[in-house]
Copies of this chain bind each other. A is one copy, B any other.
Amino acid sequence: MSNVRVIIWGLGAMGIGMGRMIAAKQGIEIVGAIDTHPEKAQKQLSQVLGVAAPDVEVTSDPTKVIKPGAADVVLVCTGSFTREVYPQLELVAKAGINCITIAEEVAYPAAQEPALAQSLHKMYDEAGVTLLGTGINPGFVLDALIIALSGVCTHVESIRAVRVNDLAPFGPTVMRTQGVGTTPAEFHSGIESGKIVGHVGFPESMSLIATALGIKLDRIEQVKEPIISDTYRETPHVKVAPGMVAGCKHIAYGYSGGKLVLTLEHPQQIRPEAESVNTGDYIYITGVPNISMAIAPEIPGGIGTIAMTVNMIPAVINASPGLVTMADLPIPRALMGDISALIKR
């Protein structure tokens, strides 16, 4: 069978990781790559990836590669927000190609952008191809995995899940958007101005869970608090003195019928071990039966997002047309064999 053909749009850390992963797999190949960064555009893909790769030149002009019949799927790794990636998703749909994006909001775009979600569904449906938003979170830890675990319950009363991670591997952008290295006063004004955003994806994960389980959420509340350090912590990109902010504790609460039914917590900070905080992913379902799950240390965000995106490619190509979510598709899985053999033709 012929190889699954992939175009990667956005060669940041995630896009590059996907490129390397695909280069190491059977039955799949990269046929196009798009990035506007002057250090990447016009280079050979293998040079940008740092591994052997097909003879593909990275282009800064999407219309050069996103063309009808050019690929089986485009991986869009350029932004976080539906509004931001919408024109790119539209270009892919117009070319009649399936699409997976790691834009957090597109994991369930109807949560915050119902009109855009509807038009995305319409354009992909009409083009006969499929659009999925995924990643580690949203996409798995704080939604799909919770949904899957709830399958062993005859009744669910409430759910609480916590993802405790370490931001130390990340660069200056993440430090800024999480408020790492600010004073508490700077943190609060950063939250107000929108400069500090915390985690992107809570309304999407909440809506994914609620829709899958058939729970009607009346409202979602979000709280973002500074994690004030008692100790000195540093990374190559930031220094945090005691009394300064080591990260953002972002919590979302979902209410149904006035009752708290969903609590998702994502305290993100650098070097949590400095204060004996262990990283991990924790899911607690109160119901029949109660379920208490721990993955420790936590599933690493970067590799997890790269893996989930590439691993969902066959499911997306095989799916019914339109905008879909992780709750609509078969359970994710690692792809260790010939990927071309998984495509229903």
Chain B residues closer than 8 Å to A338, beta-carbon distance: 214
Answer whether residue A153 sits at the interface, using C-beta atoms and an 8 A cutoff: yes
- We find that the number of chain A residues with CB closer than 8 angstroms to chain B is 58
Closest CB of chain B to A154's CB: distance in Å?
5
Expressed in whole angstroms, the Cα–Cα distance for A186 and B323 within the complex equals: 59
A289–B308 touching, CB < 8 Å: no
B310–A215 touching, CB < 8 Å: no
Tell me the residues in window 293-345 of chain A with beta carbons closer than 8 Å to chain B beta carbons: 293-297, 299-300, 303-304, 306-308, 310-312, 326-339, 341-342
Q: Using a CB–CB distance below 8 Å, which chain A residues touch chain B?
A: 17, 21, 24, 136, 140, 144-145, 147-156, 212-216, 287-289, 291-297, 299-300, 303-304, 306-308, 310-312, 326-339, 341-342
Chain B residues closer than 8 Å to A216, beta-carbon distance: 337
A336–B148 touching, CB < 8 Å: no
- 18 residue pairs A–B, Cβ–Cβ below 8 Å: A145-B149, A147-B331, A150-B334, A151-B307, A151-B312, A151-B332, A152-B308, A154-B307, A212-B333, A213-B333, A213-B337, A215-B336, A215-B337, A292-B295, A293-B295, A294-B294, A294-B295, A326-B331
Using CB atoms, name the residue of chain B closest to A145: B148
A308–B214 touching, CB < 8 Å: no
Pick the contact of A154 from B21, B294, B297, B339 — CB < 8 Å?
B21
Beyond A151-B308, A307-B154, A327-B330, whether A291 also contacts B295 by CB under 8 A is: yes
A335–B213 touching, CB < 8 Å: yes
Beyond A334-B150, A336-B156, whether A289 also contacts B299 by CB under 8 A is: yes
Chain B residues closer than 8 Å to A332, beta-carbon distance: 147-148, 150-152
Beyond A151-B140, A289-B304, whether A331 also contacts B327 by CB under 8 A is: yes
B330–A330 touching, CB < 8 Å: yes
Closest CB of chain B to A279's CB: distance in Å?
12
Chain B residues closer than 8 Å to A287, beta-carbon distance: 334
B337–A214 touching, CB < 8 Å: yes
Closest CB of chain B to A153's CB: distance in Å?
5
B214–A336 touching, CB < 8 Å: yes
Expressed in whole angstroms, the Cα–Cα distance for A306 and B154 within the complex equals: 7
